[in-house]
Structure 1
Amino acid sequence: MRITQNMMSSSMMKNLQTNYNRLDKYQEQLLTQQRINRPSDDPVGISSSLRYRGEIDMTDQFAENSKDADSWMNFTDTVMNEAVKILQTVSEKAVQGATESNNPEARKILGQEIDELYKQMVAIGNSQFKGKYIFNGQTTDQKPFSDDPANTAYSLDEGIMRYQIGAGIYVDVNSLGKNVFGPFQDPADPTKAANVFKVLDNLKTALTGDNTAGIEKSIKEIQTTMDQVLFAQADVGARQNRLQFTTDRLEDLTLNYTDLQSKIEDVNVPKTITDLKTAESVFQASLDTMGRIIRPSLLDFLR
């Protein structure tokens, strides 16, 4: 086969372009610090990289959900703790009021104090977290209790608010109002379920009416409702403990996926610098070789 000047020039230009592309590739990798800058750089690697990115995004979203759930339960625990403190204060006032040495006026003053604590307990029952009522199930846009829930009938929603904190893993973030404060206590209903508001209202009435027997009865009822609130608070704590383990696991998963993604995408700087220097030498050698092989054209002779 006859080798012509055009064939030789074409072949040299093709090889020169290949060497130049290699040089450009390593320069781009060093500038971006990424081994894969386009799918053609590594079709198999980009597939794995996209999968890891999706896992990282999903894990990050689960972590955000976990933080929101923890914030909700922290707030719930705080207001429950305040409710317990109120009941402890009420218990002390009830014991003080049960003393026979108290005159009707003294008991009336204690009754006024209980009334203020009753109003504060109602405010706790209507607590909101990020604009959502926390003790009304899934009906978070409606206030669960009226200003006088001891004497005004109410019906609380019993829906559960769940946050997804993992693949197929959910956590209940809300506490049902009936489990904390008790359902409405209808005087006509023989079933007397513990109701925080009714207990406080009964104590207030007994103190104002100078009813020693009623005050002594309230002392036992207060302890029952306090145990009820403490049990609900313990349930929140148990869910928070589980949530903490899940949060730690999500952090580990994020680190793992990030490391795997880095191994695929990130450039090996020392190796790439060596490859770049080699590509520069090859490219320069190609230019020198072309300068020696390509013969001067007729135009060169006419100069």
Structure 2
Amino acid sequence: MRITQRALAVTSLQGLNRNMDAIAKLQTQLTSGKTINKPSDDPTGTNAAMQTRQELAGATQYARNISDGIGMLDATDSALQNMITQVQNVRALTVRGLNDGVNSEAARVAIATEVSGIRASLLGLANTSVQGTPIFGGVTSGAIAYDAGTGTYVGFGGAGGVPVVPVNRQVSDADAVRVDITGPEAFGDPAAGDLFAIVQAIVTDVVSDPGALAGHLDDLDVALDRLLAVAADIGTRTSRIETAQQVNSDLQLSLTTRSAQIENVDLPKTIMNLQMQQVGYEAALGATAKALQPTLLDFLR
């Protein structure tokens, strides 16, 4: 088969162009730091990279949910622990008020004043908010859960026949954790006499009717047990969400590593390949120069 000068020139130029394309691709990879700069570079790798990025975006959103949930639960736990301490103080003062023969009128007034101050503090803690939302107010759009003056529950859910609407945070594909607790769940049903009503009754009766304090003390013990149970529940949820946080952190690290393995260039290997391609291109140029017929200029030298 006869090979013409034109065929030889075309074949040589095609080979040189392929070498130039390979060099250009390697240079682009070094410049961008990515092995995949367009889908055609690696269709399979592109699909894997997109899936990994999607999973990483989901894990990042779950991390934000977890952080928000931990903030809510920590604020709730802190408020409950402070309230438990103050209710225990009210209990101690109530027991002191039961001693009819020991307390003078002035002492009883002092106890009533102190308990009244504690009640105001309890209502303040019950109105604790995170990012403008009262943590014991349910899904209310208002700024408080309890009226500071009357102690009336003004949140939404858990009282007046309105069911509780839990506030959840999705912490993984398969798990959601509730991050709120309504006032009626924590402090009792306002219709039946909640914690604040009990404390107010103690304030009133420690002076006017000390004999009624025994019944109030029993009610206070029930309210205190409820607070302790709610605090334990919040602690359990916090443990769950902290575990989810660790799992999420490990998942993000794994996905980031996988993404880097798919997309990032192996710098030493890419530099070596580029040098090899450049050497090959220079060799091809030399071979092509010898293979192609000399030009008229060569004859005129």
TM-score with structure 1 setting the length = 0.89
Partner of residue 120, structure 2: 119
Picking from 229, 232, 245, the partner of 2:230 is 232
Is the 1:118–1:200 contact (alpha carbons within 8 Å) kept by the matching residues of 2? yes
Q: Which residue of 2 aligns with 1:88?
A: 88
Is the 8 Å Cα contact of residues 182 and 194 (structure 1) preserved in structure 2? Answer: yes
Equivalent residue letter for 2:171: I
Select which of 151, 162, 171 maps to 2:177. 171
- Indicate whether 1:181 and 2:182 are aligned: no
Does the Cα contact within 8 Å between 2:135 and 2:180 map onto a contact in 1? Answer: yes
Q: Give the count of matched residue pairs.
A: 294
Partner-residue secondary structure (3-state), 2:190:
coil
**Alignment correspondent of 1:259:** 257
Aligned position for 2:166: 160
Between the aligned partners of 1:283 and 1:156, the Cα distance in structure 2 is: 75
| 1:188-203 alignment runs, 5 A limit | 193=192, 195-203=194-202
What is aligned with 1:17?
Answer: 17
Q: Report what 1:61 is aligned to.
A: 61
- CA deviations over 1:217-255 (Å, ceiling 9, x no partner): 333222221111111111111111111222222222222
Q: Which residue of 1 aligns with 2:161?
A: none
Q: What are the Cα deviations for residues 128-163 of structure 1, in whole angstroms up to 9, with x where unaligned?
A: 11100111211243533222445x575741211111
Corresponding position of 1:188: none
Q: Distance in 2 between matches of 1:214 and 1:156?
A: 32
CA distance in 1, matches of 2:141, 2:244: 26
C-alpha distance 141-5 of structure 1, shift in aligned 2 (>3 A): farther
- The CA distance in 2 between the partners of 1:66 and 1:155, in whole Å, is 24
Separation of aligned partners in 2, 1:194 and 1:141: 23
C-alpha distance after superposition, 1:24-49 (max 9, x if no partner): 22222233332212111101111011
Partner of 1:101: 102
Runs of 4+ in 1 over 6 A off after TM superposition: none
Give the equivalent residue in structure 1 for 2:284. 286
| Aligned residues with identical type, % of pairs | 27
Shift in Å, 1:87? 0.4
Structure 1 residue 194 displacement after superposition: 5.4
TM-score normalised according to structure 2 size: 0.90
- 2:39 alignment counterpart: 39
Q: CA RMSD in A?
A: 2.0
Deviates more, 1:32-41 or 1:228-237: 32-41
Indicate conservation of the 8 Å contact 2:115/2:203, yes or no.
yes
Gaps of 5+ in 2: 158-163
Structure 1, gaps ≥5 residues long: 186-192
